[in-house]
Structure formats: structure tokens, C-alpha cells
Amino acid sequence: MAAMQASNLLNETHKKHLWWMSKLGADESTAMVSLAADVLHQGSTPDSDRQMGSAAKNLGMEVEDVSNALSALSHLTTETARQSLTEQDLIQALSGIGLSGDPAVAIAQACVQSKDQARQDVQEATGVVFAQYMSADWRLECAVGGRSLRNVADPGYLLQIVTEEGGERTTHTLTSDYPALKGAVASLKAALQEEKGGHYRKVVRLT
């Protein structure tokens, strides 16, 4: 993941809610992420509330502080699943808000381990299920001769993508000329640029 994307993964609010976890050990950090994953999976329940209260007591923190940290960790777990982030991506993002060493490594490992369940939880909650990407192959085709006096090259692109949904694999074959492909790339770059804006982060928080 690019450095800019890693730095935008966690904002000042997350920093405010997670700063105190730099004092925790690896086991305590892992336990916090596990509790956040449970809350994400089951929602707020009397049992999770008791665990939250117990965690606050053991850590010497207010329940509200633990609750806010769990919310930030849930966001991190969800983003790990959504963007297929790696352990190194997360460590980089956490270092940007002052979390490093054993706590950062433990949080990153626990988030990566929880991402499959988080992805399933989000799909069940929204009812939106996307086909899973499996592989992609591409080929560049270019005419090397023709009747044109100027001998203008006319490149074409062939892309084959394999996805899997419900255990069934589907092959998608796409063809494009250079101008159309260039326009699609420009649109994708513009969409990625929007992720860096405040409006995007506001919408993500609301959803």
C-alpha cells in the first residue's frame, strides 16, 4: 500500500482513541482486537459489555476510553478486510499515530487474522456480496503492417479476469483500445484521489 494511503487510514480521532494502547503488551493488544472483532461480529451484547467493563478495570482505564478504542480497532479491522491490507501496511499506519513496537505488531497481526470474518460480517450486514478476484491475464495486440501510408500502430488490449462467487468460477474477457483504456485509468486515479479528501472520510464514518 502506498505511504499516502497508509497515513490516511487512521485520522486524528483514531489517534486520540488509541494513543494509550502504546503502553500495553502484545497479549493485551491482541485481546483488545479480539474483543473489537467480537463486537463487530455479534454487535453490542450484555456479554461484550461485561468484557468491556472487565477490560477497563484490568487496564485501569475508563469504560468510555476502552469503548472508543474498540470502535477505532473495529474500523481498522474493517478497512483491513475492505482493502486487503497486509501486516506491514497496518504497522506503517499505526506508526503514523505514534503506535509502534510490540503493541503495533500485535494489533496488525490480530487485524489480519480477523479480516475474513470481518468481510463476511460486513457482507451479511449490507446484503452486498462481491465476487472474489482469483486471477487476471492480459495481452497486448498490435498490428505491425497494414495499408496505411503512415503505418500508424493500432494497439489493442485483451484482459481476462477470473472471479469466484459461491464456489463457482467465472471468466470475464474484456477488450479495449488505447484511448478507452487511458480514460478508464484516469477515472480510477481520480477515484483514488477522492479517498484522500475530507468528504470521503466523512461519508465512510457515517456508513
One domain for residues 99 and 30: yes
Regarding whether 22 and 56 lie in a shared domain, the answer is: yes
Contacts of 163 (CB under 8 A, 6+ apart): 131, 132, 133, 134, 169, 170, 172
Exposed/middle/buried for residue 162 (C-beta within 10 Å: 0-12, 13-18, 19+): middle
Write 193-201 long-range contacts (CB < 8 A, 24+): 195/5, 195/8, 196/4, 196/8, 201/8, 201/11
- The answer to whether residues 183 and 119 belong to one domain is no
| 48 lies in the same domain as 85 | yes
Domain tally, the chain = 2
My answer on whether 61 and 92 are in the same domain is yes
Q: How far is CA 186 from the centre of its chain?
A: 22
The SS3 assignment for 43 reads: coil
Domain that holds residue 101: 3-126
Judgement on whether residues 158 and 79 belong to the same structural domain of the protein: no
Q: Is 44 left (phi over 0), alpha (psi -120 to 50) or beta?
A: beta
pLDDT in tens, the chain (207 residues): 443 344 467 888 888 888 888 888 888 888 888 888 887 777 777 887 888 888 888 888 888 988 888 888 888 888 888 788 889 989 988 888 888 888 889 889 988 888 888 777 767 766 666 667 678 888 888 776 666 666 666 778 888 888 887 778 889 898 888 888 888 889 988 888 887 776 766 665 555
Asked if residue 102 and residue 144 are part of one domain, the reply reads no
The answer to whether residues 145 and 122 belong to one domain is no
Same domain, 72 and 161: no
Query: Quick one: 122 and 170 in the same domain?
Result: no
**pLDDT value, residue 152:** 66
Residue 135: the pLDDT is: 81
Which residue among 71, 94, 126 closes a domain?
A: 126
Whether 105 and 59 map to the same domain: the answer is: yes
